[in-house]
Structure 1
Amino acid sequence: MEKVVRHRGWQWLVGVWCMLAGHMACAQARTELLHRAQENLTRVIVHDIFSPPVASRIYLYANAAAYETLVLGDSRYVSLHNQANMFPKIDQPAAASHINYELAALYAFLRTGGKLVFSEPMLKDSSEHILAGVGEVDEVIYQNSLRLGEMVSDSILAWSSRDNYAATRKKRRYAYSKEKGKWTPTPPGYIDAVEPYWSQIRPVALDSAAQFKPVPPPAFNTDAASDFMKEVKEVYDVTRKLSKEEILIASFWDCNPFYLNTQGHLNFATKKLSPGGHWMSIAGQATQRAGKSWIETSKVYLLTSIALFDGFISCWDEKYRSQMIRPETVINAYMDEKWRPLLQTPPFPEYTSGHSVISTAAALVLERELGEGFVFDDRTEMPYGLPMRRFASFTAAAEEAAISRLYGGIHYRSAIVNGQKQGRGIGNQVIQKIRLNAGIGK
């Protein structure tokens, strides 16, 4: 990576702002670079069509690399070492006074993220512009910073290589159960099961994938008076009389990274954010609104990514344990063969609701960091043609994300309610186990 020695365009304006407003304003202005790096990583994740669980893994390791670089230069915060499962010890650099930690953190983030996506060149193209935003840097400091970023990135990538992800790539193809009431692929693509072995991935804060195992779902029973069919009928009834607001809510939280369009014999995908990508976007918007510093912003991003990552591991553990059949399959077979859900049914078992789990977990972490009554505008879906939504709290957003799955016709009530309970357990576990402020005991 070549050294950048002059300001251009908006970079020149940032330099002027620094001179006029002082160092604090300068640092806060340049925090935008970390948000840009996050947005560009999300753009590549969407482009490469990573599944929600895999996307959460990319966010985790990229943000761990940024945070662990910054913490080396800030004694107010502590490493994930001795807190996160199997996290390595990362030593202080020898020439600490000759390092720009912000530059190093950006490089560590972008380098780590680049190693985990398919389209690494696409991320590299944007990396040089982001690093240039740091402005003029002494040659020695510039090279020291990049070396530090590379060293931390290597440590994080080594940690990631031991999370069992590679082993799950070699597993046999998922075998569907022939038992009644068990999940089978759904229209229109009848796509194979997504990440059936994700429960074998090493979590960060959880003791195991099953630590917050939910109660079992209602037993499959086609008797109209059964608890199961009552839930099926609720989905059917709710989706047939949706208000405009409910349709908007379902669409806003759809977060389907691979929406399959079908026109005759032609099939093509519409690429969108994953659920985790939506919550990483919320974390970014909230920290910007709160005016958080570099290390504080990185901390929030990291904790949010941990909640998402562990949330998907816990949720997927239950999905492939219970293998619950989707509403679309039941309604078409026993109630109305022409019924279709508002949202496209995802290619994995129904119980529990992934969005309910990860949204609740992420909201708890964000409330811990930014406050329970934090009001924010969520512009995440505007690039996809949907309007901004304002929320009175992170919990309010999480609750809306959860109920959106009923409106969308892809989840039963119990998957939502028990998914929220599961998410609360995960969020609280992250809060209790991962303490990143120095001097705060466990």
Structure 2
Amino acid sequence: MKKMLGVFLVVIFLGSCKKEVSPIEITAGDYHNAMDRLTNIMVHDIFSPPVASRIYAYSNIAAYEVLVKGNNDLRSFSHTYKDFEPIPEPDSTVTINYQLAALIAHIEMGKQLIFSENEILTYRDSLYSSWEKLNKEEFEVSKSYGIQVATHVANWKNKDNYNETRTLPKFSIYSDEAHRWQPTPPLYMDGIEPHWAKIRTFSLDSASQFQPGSPPEFSLDKSSKFRQELMEVYSIRHSLDSLGDDSEELEMARFWDCNPYVSTQRGHLMFATKKITPGGHWLGITKIASKKKNLDFDNTVYAYTATSLAIADAFISCWDEKYKRELIRPETLINSFVDENWTPVLQTPPFPEYPSGHSVVSGAAATVLTQLFGEDFSYEDDTEVPYGLPVRSFTSFHQAANEAALSRLYGGIHYRSAIEDGLTQGLSLGAFVVKDLNLQPLNL
């Protein structure tokens, strides 16, 4: 009897010494870190702006749709996705940490879309190890659901025509038409993503739903509007030279450059400077706004997802028009007909001129962010600090969009019509996305 009582007391003692398991806490900061890690890998891998926007969109969609299952205040955006089947229902017999599952879905989705898989695996495995130590059971069931949703979204992603566009012919540059785009210095690269308009849209009905109008009729006659816009680009460059290297206009141009691959030549040596894309910059602004507003995890993902959807559709819309117009860049015409030694402030990107991609994307992103955070949302934009550029201050998202658009004129890579028409196109597209997604202000 005494022996049995002793065993009983030992069992009670061991049970009382058992370590209590705490829930795994996932914060908005964890999601910002995941987005930063994805961006850094994309910069390393040198994804073009359109392709980068696709990566952001699918990664955020996977995370957001997970959260919808655990938060009755969130509404799925799946009604707007083309050919999208609802995500799998969670197992009701287990307790899922939806924030954890969402973050895992984001990471797993991103892993499938980048090249440097080892970089994201190292990051993921470090997180997995720490979460498993905190609460193995919660981690395993949440991971299982996160991966299940990521797989579901990946299957849908694989049907967006991206893989098909990898096999289509390059953009043909052989033409006698004077207005037609030609490769530009220093690498004279082929036009990138000439078939991007074939990518399935997210909110838009089609790639051509929002068109910017038409650029001035091509003419090198001195009295033509096109020639006047060409000479404006040429003259502004010379004006900037007289203002000095620290002028506001030059700082603006450099701040919004967002060219993922700038080739620099020094003597016989040529090297690349890597930067974020325009979409990456605007999602950096989304991070700044979310942190200033102190959004929780769910609303942070909401803001990222809505903005990335607008950016992705903006690139599809813009690229549709670019390769329909095939308009030649200012640098090519100025070197051929005005001044062979003229160079733009920024390196001309390798794709047709009209409309300005920065203008379309900035207009769309600013419209979504204004709906979420308000008209007069001032902030300090430090997105470009890691790339050696200073902080710039803005009183609203639309002020930033206007500056981003105008910066392309100071950079010497766009005519005024491409800038103004592109901005109008982006604003209209953004307003459509706001309505289509039924975006609600974040009144927190």
CA distance in 1: counterparts of 2:98 and 2:27, whole angstroms: 12
| Pair 1:76 & 2:73 matched | yes
> Who is 1:156 aligned against?
153
Name the SS for the 1:32 alignment partner: helix
> Who is 2:189 aligned against?
191
The answer (yes or no) to whether the contact 1:375–1:390 under 8 Å persists in 2 is yes
> Who is 2:403 aligned against?
400
Unaligned runs of 5+ in 1: 1-18, 438-442
> Who is 1:440 aligned against?
none
> Who is 2:105 aligned against?
108
TM-score, structure 1 as length reference = 0.90
CA distance in 2: counterparts of 1:332 and 1:38, whole angstroms: 41
Of 302-311 and 137-146, more deviation after overlay is shown by: 137-146
Larger radius of gyration: 2
- Distance change in 2, residues 1:91/1:272 (3 Å): same
| Pair 1:250 & 2:248 matched | no
- Distance change in 2, residues 1:436/1:84 (3 Å): farther
Question: Structure 1 residue 69: deviation in Å?
Answer: 1.1
| Pair 1:124 & 2:121 matched | yes
1:256-313 alpha-carbon deviations (Å, 9 max, x no partner):
1000112334322111111111011110111011011111100110011011100000
> Who is 1:388 aligned against?
391
Count of matched residue pairs: 413
The code of the aligned residue for 1:271 comes to K
- Distance change in 2, residues 1:141/1:204 (3 Å): same
The code of the aligned residue for 1:298 comes to V
> Who is 2:287 aligned against?
284
Question: Structure 1 residue 129: deviation in Å?
Answer: 3.8
Of 90-99 and 231-240, more deviation after overlay is shown by: 90-99
CA distance in 2: counterparts of 1:383 and 1:133, whole angstroms: 28
The code of the aligned residue for 2:327 comes to M
| Pair 1:299 & 2:299 matched | no
Question: Structure 1 residue 426: deviation in Å?
Answer: 1.0
- Distance change in 2, residues 1:183/1:431 (3 Å): same
Name the SS for the 2:188 alignment partner: coil
Among 234, 237, 255, the alignment partner of 2:235 is 237
Name the SS for the 1:229 alignment partner: helix
CA distance in 2: counterparts of 1:40 and 1:436, whole angstroms: 27
Question: Structure 1 residue 222: deviation in Å?
Answer: 0.8
Among 364, 368, 378, the alignment partner of 2:367 is 364
The code of the aligned residue for 1:351 comes to Y
CA distance in 1: counterparts of 2:64 and 2:281, whole angstroms: 20
1:397-429 alpha-carbon deviations (Å, 9 max, x no partner):
111100000000000000000001110111011
The code of the aligned residue for 2:43 comes to V
1:375-412 alpha-carbon deviations (Å, 9 max, x no partner):
11110111111111111000011111000000000000
Of 255-264 and 225-234, more deviation after overlay is shown by: 255-264
CA distance in 2: counterparts of 1:417 and 1:239, whole angstroms: 19
> Who is 1:9 aligned against?
none
Aligned CA-pair RMSD: 1.7
The answer (yes or no) to whether the contact 1:63–1:305 under 8 Å persists in 2 is yes
CA distance in 2: counterparts of 1:209 and 1:139, whole angstroms: 45
CA distance in 1: counterparts of 2:129 and 2:377, whole angstroms: 33
1:23-52 alpha-carbon deviations (Å, 9 max, x no partner):
9xx96x821000000000000000000000
> Who is 1:269 aligned against?
272
Question: Structure 1 residue 219: deviation in Å?
Answer: 1.5
The answer (yes or no) to whether the contact 2:94–2:141 under 8 Å persists in 1 is no
CA distance in 2: counterparts of 1:99 and 1:421, whole angstroms: 44
CA distance in 1: counterparts of 2:36 and 2:105, whole angstroms: 15
> Who is 1:202 aligned against?
200
The code of the aligned residue for 2:425 comes to Q
| Pair 1:425 & 2:428 matched | yes
Question: Structure 1 residue 133: deviation in Å?
Answer: 6.8
- Distance change in 2, residues 1:246/1:96 (3 Å): farther
1:100-158 alpha-carbon deviations (Å, 9 max, x no partner):
11111111101100100001111111223445676864322110000011011011111
1:51-75 alpha-carbon deviations (Å, 9 max, x no partner):
0000000000000011111111111
> Who is 2:14 aligned against?
none
CA distance in 1: counterparts of 2:218 and 2:270, whole angstroms: 33
| Pair 1:327 & 2:325 matched | no
| Pair 1:145 & 2:148 matched | no
The code of the aligned residue for 2:291 comes to Q
1:86-112 alpha-carbon deviations (Å, 9 max, x no partner):
222013211375111111111110110
User: Identity of aligned pairs, percent?
Assistant: 47
- Distance change in 2, residues 1:130/1:369 (3 Å): farther
